[in-house]
Amino acid sequence: MDLLNYLRNDLLHLMRRREKVALRAVRDAISAIQNAETSYVTSPATIAAPSDFVAGGVRFGYAERVVRELSAEQMMSLARGEVDRRLEDAARLRALGDVDRALMLKAEALALADRLDAYAS
């Protein structure tokens, strides 16, 4: 099972248990991986579109998207990036005096890091 499917399965359990802190972190990690996998066609299509409505989307490159498979290392790197981003934001918020939000971000980072460590082992 790859990391994306592992996090999706964990997401269902978190929703059932209503663990809001971990839920936010796991959702963001899933989104980061899915966004990295998906890119949109930017060059105009070379085939004729069946209707004017579809032709407008194809002309501007938004009618189709390409999904590329990420390696396990790339997925883990993106998820670890989410942990690092949360910790950096928490440090910045703490320096600004917003301790409550800083603690929330740190808790999210720790929850996601625990799940990533559990997946890696």
Q: Note the helical H segments in 42-71.
A: 52-60
Q: What is the mean pLDDT of the chain?
A: 83
Q: Where are the beta strands (DSSP E) in 41-107?
A: 65-67
pLDDT surpassing 70 at residue 44: no
- The vertex-1 CA angle with 78 and 13, nearest 5°, equals 80
Residue type, 56: G
Q: What is the mean pLDDT of residues 38-51?
A: 57
pLDDT at 75 over 70: yes
Q: How far apart are the first and last CA of the chain?
A: 13
What six digits make up the tokens of 100? 């409550």
Residue ranges per structural domain of the chain? 3-37+70-120
User: What gap in Å lies between CA 75 and CA 93, rounded to an integer?
Assistant: 27
pLDDT at residue 20 tops 70 = yes
Q: How confident is the model at residue 83 (pLDDT cuts 50, 70, 90)?
A: very high
Tell me the CATH number for domain 3-37+70-120. 1.10.1510
